[in-house]
């Protein structure tokens, strides 16, 4: 490498904007410590033990700004080297290794949290739609399909256009929704109903099962993907 190329490379190593005076030492564990001092700032780089995987080696590094020890910040990076034709070549600085199984678990958990929150809100929206239907037609709908949009024409008792078509089919955003009339009659204000929401893929789209009891209370519990009940803990 040319002198200018070496300087450019070292700037990336020590995160400095100008060349400095290098010194080398070791820590108590025998690991190398490299320091680079410039008129404005001094940085210190500690190199950890190498991890060899086939033809790639990883070197963990800690970078410190030691100009002001009381305010020193530490940056941790991994330097990668790859062996080609019996020579080691720089692979990258600040190498990011992606643990896909761990990331998948994190993504599943994040997705489950989002769909669980959405399922509870959806259950409340369905309950509101049922009450609107009751006031308009003086009875409860026979099924969720009665709350969906009409295929043609204006809204009516068979398709009141109070929910979108996905809700009307009973499945949306990773959850299945169930509606039942509680009691022998669906007529008038005294008629009662229950709602339930269960994850379509337990553990992936959610773990909690939600239940709306006949008195309007909402409940949630981990039921391993089965339908909840009024005995589950209440949620606000």
Would you list the DSSP string of 21-50? EEEEEE-TTS-EEEEEE-SS-EEEEEE---
Phi then psi dihedrals of residue 72, to 5 deg: -65, 135
125 with 190, same domain: the answer is yes
191: left (phi over 0), alpha (psi -120 to 50) or beta: beta
Q: What is the C-alpha to C-alpha distance for residues 173 and 118, in angstroms, rounded to an integer?
A: 8
Claim to verify: residue 83 and residue 180 sit in the same structural domain: no
The mean pLDDT value for 54-62 works out to 79
CB 202 within 8 Å of CB 172? no
Q: In terms of domains, do 107 and 84 share one? A: no
Segments forming the whole domain that contains residue 185: 100-235
User: Where does a domain end: 74, 92, 110?
Assistant: 92
Mean of all residue pLDDT scores within the chain: 81
Percent of the chain with pLDDT over 70: 79
pLDDT of 132 over the 60 cut = yes
What would the two tokens of residue 6 be?
């070496």
Q: Does one domain contain both 114 and 212?
A: yes
* pLDDT the model gives residue 1: 45
Kindly state whether residues 60 and 140 are assigned to the same domain. Answer: no
Calculate the CA 57 to chain-centre distance.
Answer: 31
Same domain, 74 and 108: no
What is the pLDDT at residue 36? 77
Whether residue 146 sits in one domain with residue 87: no
Tell me, what's the pLDDT at 77? Answer: 74
Query: In this structure, are 115 and 181 located in the same domain?
Result: yes
CA distance 60 to 77: 6
What is the predicted pLDDT for the residue at 217?
A: 95
- Final residue in a domain of this structure, among 39, 68, 92: 92
> Same structural domain for residues 30 and 110?
no
Q: How many independent structural domains does the chain possess?
A: 2
Q: pLDDT tens across 44-55, in order?
A: 777 777 788 777
In terms of domains, do 224 and 156 share one?
Answer: yes
pLDDT tens string 142-189: 999 999 999 889 999 999 999 998 888 899 889 999 999 987 777 877
pLDDT band at 85 (very low <50, low <70, confident <90, very high): confident
Q: What digits encode the pLDDT tens for the residues 91-108?
A: 655 555 555 566 566 666
What's phi and psi for 25, nearest 5 deg?
-155, -175
Residues 125 and 176 grouped into a single domain: yes
Radius of gyration of the chain (CA): 31
Instruction: Give the residue from 39, 74, 92 where a domain finishes.
Output: 92
pTM of structure: 0.57
Q: Do 218 and 121 fall within a single domain?
A: yes
Q: Is the pLDDT reported for residue 129 higher than 50?
A: yes
CA atoms within 13 A on the CB side of 213: 12
Q: Are strands 56-65 and 21-26 parallel, antiparallel or unpaired?
A: unpaired
């Amino acid at each position: 490498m040319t002198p200018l190329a070496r300087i450019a490379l070292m700037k990336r190593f020590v995160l400095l904007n100008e060349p400095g005076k290098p010194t080398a030492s070791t820590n108590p564990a025998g690991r190398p410590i490299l320091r680079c001092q410039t008129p404005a700032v001094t940085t210190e780089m500690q190199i950890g033990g190498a991890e060899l995987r086939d033809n790639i080696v990883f070197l963990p590094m800690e970078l410190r700004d030691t100009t002001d020890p009381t305010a020193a910040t530490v940056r941790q990076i991994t330097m990668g080297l790859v062996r080609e034709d019996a020579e080691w070549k720089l692979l990258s600085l600040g190498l990011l290794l992606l643990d896909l199984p761990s990331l998948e678990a994190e993504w599943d958990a994040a997705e489950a949290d989002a769909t669980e929150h959405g399922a509870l809100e959806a259950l409340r929206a369905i309950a509101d739609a049922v009450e609107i239907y009751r006031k308009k037609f003086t009875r409860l709908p026979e099924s969720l399909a009665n709350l969906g949009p009409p295929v043609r024409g204006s809204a009516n008792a068979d398709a009141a256009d109070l929910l979108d078509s996905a809700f009307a089919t009973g499945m949306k955003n990773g959850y299945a929704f169930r509606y039942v009339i509680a009691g022998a009659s669906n007529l008038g204000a005294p008629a009662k109903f229950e709602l339930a929401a269960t994850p379509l893929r337990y553990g992936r789209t959610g773990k909690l099962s939600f239940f709306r009891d006949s008195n309007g209370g909402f409940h949630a519990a981990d039921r391993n993907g089965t339908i909840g009940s009024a005995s589950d803990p209440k949620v606000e």
